[in-house]
Structure 1
Amino acid sequence: MSQRVVVTGIGIYSCLGQNTGEVTQSLYAGKSGIIFDQQRKDFGFRSALTGMVQEPDLKNQLSRRQRLGMHQPAVYAYVATKEALDMSGLDIDFLEKSETGIIFGNDSTAASIIEAVDRAKEKKDTTLIGSGAIFQNMNSTVNMNLSTIFKLKGINFTLSAACASGSHSIGMGYLMISQGLQERVICGGAQEINPSSMASFDGLGTFSVRESEPQKASRPFDKDRDGLIPSGGAATVILESYEAAVKRGAPILAELIGYGFSSNGDHISNPNVDGQIRSLKMALKQAQVTTNEIDYINAHATSTVVGDGSEAKAIYDVFGADVPVSSTKSMTGHECWMAGASEIVYSILMMQHSFIAPNINFENPDEDSARINIIPETREQHINCFLSNSFGFGGTNSTLILKKV
């Protein structure tokens, strides 16, 4: 028999704030976290725009040995996960004695690899790279570090699915719990934000060059958009079976009721409307809800012409013109591997505080975006059930539906 799956904790470290309180305020205010980064311009970037994510100082929280194998993705993920665990009422003593799993989305650790190779070239001796480098370099760096720091004893693997990584990680955690294979899974997504991680992406020419107005550069669905803005950080969602959550008296923030997915089987980078529609319809069918029951859609929309247009067509095809839609990437930029997880956190915060965060910089609709109900300013609204889309390179699509309990 399928188990109900609920969210008992959330944590966030992003350009909108370093915790859920700060991020809630930024979402409500429609505050952008995008800046001009001179380091990128000096590096040779076509676009020097990025989400501003500060480096956390963990010296007072973790030992030197624990920090040794951590680079940006793991560092960010630790901060977000610590907040989520505290909210959920989970401590290391409990985690060490229970079968708690971790499935985290992460698809690169570029800077740590480059640093290790550069050190070896400089010293002409690989033994001088340092013992922590191997644990920083692997894509599973988040799972490696968090599973050992928090003494986790359940399922443990990293999910790599481009910009849908964070969403799929939550979806896989949902499937593990709903099938009775785990009682509890720590899910999320992490994204490094150093220049090394974004240089090849910048080289594709997909980043906005509106450098004179950084906070107006990310313009999902707007006719005058000229590209996305890279961003990063980490987001964590604690999933548990309803029974386990009730048994230990945990707070229940939301229930995850639907997970849809698909592969376009088409172009490696261009989106596909049919694939997105199949993901949306699968999530709705699994959740057993009608389109009229969805109060809000947090769109994947990254601020690219083709991507936003495809998603607007898919939303209109499935939902029609009425459901409120916004892309929080208008404020955050594209948080890539973490985006699918962070946008679940953002949407839960909206649901808790009864508002829809604005799709800022939406001034002129195009033919596709004019057909759907995009929310350009903060709206006070009760949200009982929301849907979040995530689409990635390689044609991977993920859709999650959550509701109040």
Structure 2
Amino acid sequence: MQMSQRRRVVVTGIGFLSPIGNSLADVRTSLLTGRSGIVAMPEWESIGSLRTRVAGICTDVDENLIPRQTRRSMGRVSILAALAAQKAVADAGLSEEQIASPRCGVSFGSTEGSSQAMEEFLSRILSARSLKGMQSSTYLQFMSHTCAANLAMMFRTQGPVVASCTACVAGSQGIGFGYEQIRNGKAELMLAGGAEEMHFMDAGIFDIMRATSTDFNDRPEMTPRPFDAARDGLVVAEGAGCLILEEFEHARRRNADILAEIAGFGTNCDGAHLTNPSSDGMAGAMLLALEDAGMSADAIGHVNAHATATAAGDVAEAAATFKVFGDRVPVTGFKGYMGHTLGAAGVLESIFTVLMLRQGFIAPTHNLDTPDPQLAPIQHVLREPREHRFQVGMNNNFAFGGINTSLIFRLS
């Protein structure tokens, strides 16, 4: 399809919950003042062999904003998703009739369904060896597409439903696949994003892989440390974010406030290893996004890195980013502030990228004090925020399975 024929896709609403705030004003303060959302988790001391004791938790979560009957099929991950979506729909100024339409769909991801619901379900079955008393709604809380399905039912959308269950790129694929639905004429509106709830099992998976931060259990605000020489692993976190994606002419006809435009999206697979990152695959996703946007690398004014603070991941990502951009463009990451929100990472980091794009600043990479000299020499932003007016920003995320994503946002 020629660029001139493509339908443009814009962002007209934003809603989220995160460990560093549930509003753009709160997040801006966190980013500008270096306020960490990482806290100690003393309750995890009862979990045998779990070494990490820190996490990023959402606060001020009022599930009563969702009708009780609607909540029956929701675990915490879906509740977070629903609260974020409520905010986004309100921010976009959309009516119930506009959302409950065959031209409005949902594209939403998470690593899995509710871990808490899954634990309760399996614990009862394994201990009693019986299905007596089990409720079908429990399965609906932990099924892999619980967020997308529950949002579609809650808002009565009648358009396409896409559920991305691709771990750390679930949120960015949620945005990207929603963007493609509109660009290709399948929808006019999409609720797009991702969510994750906190549970010790999610931290435990990475702990078993020796990928979690353990050296700062008594100093949670000092970890994770993306790209830093003293980094010791990731910190698992929870959160949710939703973007209202809208076809440009549709948004203009209703005089919507256009926050940004999605200019390009790229996703691919390394095809090499389930857990070892590939810098070639990462760079390939960035190049796909640039090609989709019809842009050169010189057009990008800032790159938000996935930057999980793992030993191998940061090395591969720095090499990939340097391969595409050299040291010309500022590269920062948000996980030092809030941890790794897994299925929500792609959407939260996209939202914060749009925030910086619109307000003309770049937040430093929190806890990056001494860049690892073994990394490719990308342009870091250390300690202090930087005033930086830019028109186009890129957000990158990468996941187990060799799955890579890159999203490009521009001011419209």
Q: TM-score range by the shorter chain?
A: over 0.9
CA distance in 1 between counterparts of 2:135 and 2:340 reads 32
Deviates more, 1:363-372 or 1:13-22: 363-372
Quickly say closer, same or farther: Cα 1:264–1:121, change in 2 above 3 A. closer
CA positional deviation for 1:63 = 2.6
CA deviation profile, 1:41-71 (whole Å, cap 9, x unmatched)? 2223211111122372322x23321111111
Q: 1:288 aligns with which of 289, 294, 299?
A: 294
- Is 1:367 equivalent to 2:378 in the alignment? no
Uncovered stretches (5+) of structure 1, i.e. residues with no partner: none
Match of 1:88 among 92, 98, 119: 92
What's the CA shift for 1:167?
0.8
2: distance between equivalents of 1:311 and 1:247? 41
Preserved contact between residue 273 and residue 313 of structure 1 (Cα < 8 Å)? yes
Q: Structure 2 counterpart of 1:71, which letter?
A: G
* Match status 1:341 vs 2:347: yes
Q: What number of residue pairs does the alignment pair up? A: 404
Partner of 2:310: 304
Where do 1:57-76 residues align within 5 Å?
57-59=62-64, 61-76=65-80
Are residues 1:388 and 2:392 paired?
no
Q: Distance in 2 between matches of 1:30 and 1:357?
A: 9
Residue by residue over 1:221-267, the C-alpha shift from the partner in whole angstroms, topping out at 9 and shown as x without a partner, is 01110111001110111111101111111110001011112211111
Question: How big is the shift at 1:368?
Answer: 4.5
Match of 1:53 in 2: 58
* Matched letter for residue 383 of structure 1: F
**TM-score scaled by structure 1?**
0.96
Q: Tell me the residue number matched to 1:180.
A: 185
Residue identity matched to 1:183? E
- Indicate the larger mover: 390-399 or 113-122: 113-122
The letter of the residue matching 1:312 is: A
**Alpha-carbon deviation of 1:156?**
0.9
Q: Secondary structure at the match of 1:229?
A: coil
Aligned AA (2:67) = S
Identity of aligned residues (%): 34
1:322 maps onto 2:333 in alignment? no
Q: Does 1:16 align with 2:20?
A: yes
- Distance in 2 (CA, whole Å) between partners of 1:265 and 1:131 is 37
Unaligned runs of 5+ in 2: none
Q: State the one-letter code of the partner of 1:48.
A: R
- Pairing partner for 2:32 from 28, 32, 35: 28
Instruction: Note closer, same or farther for the CA distance 1:178–1:166 as it changes in structure 2 (3 Å cut).
Output: same
- Per-residue CA distance 1:6-63 (angstroms, 9 max, x = gap): 111111101011233322221222211111100112223211111122372322x233
Q: CA deviation at 1:161?
A: 1.3
RMSD: 1.5
Alignment partner of 1:378 out of 362, 379, 385: 385
The answer as to 2:165 corresponding to 1:160 is yes
- Corresponding residue of 2:254: 248
Query: SS of 1:126's equivalent?
Result: coil
Amino acid at match of 1:28: L
What aligned pairs does 1:56-135 form with structure 2 within 5 A after superposition? Answer: 56-59=61-64, 61-97=65-101, 99-109=103-113, 110-121=115-126, 125-135=130-140
Alpha carbons 2:322, 2:376 under 8 Å: kept: no
| Counterpart residue identity of residue 237, structure 2 | S
* Per-residue deviation, 1:124: 5.8
Q: Give the aligned partner of residue 202 of structure 2.
A: 197
Q: For the structure 1 residues 185 and 368, does the alpha-carbon distance in structure 2 shift closer, same or farther, using more than 3 Å as the test?
A: farther
Opposite residue 97 of structure 2, the aligned amino acid is D
In structure 1, which of residues 18, 27, 37 is the aligned counterpart of residue 41 of structure 2?
Answer: 37
1:144 and 1:291 map into 2 onto residues whose CA distance is 37
- Give 2:196's aligned amino acid: Q
The TM-score with structure 2 as length reference comes to 0.94
Q: Does structure 2 conserve the Cα–Cα contact (< 8 Å) formed by 1:135 and 1:144?
A: no
Shift of 1:174: 1.2
Aligned to 1:351: 357
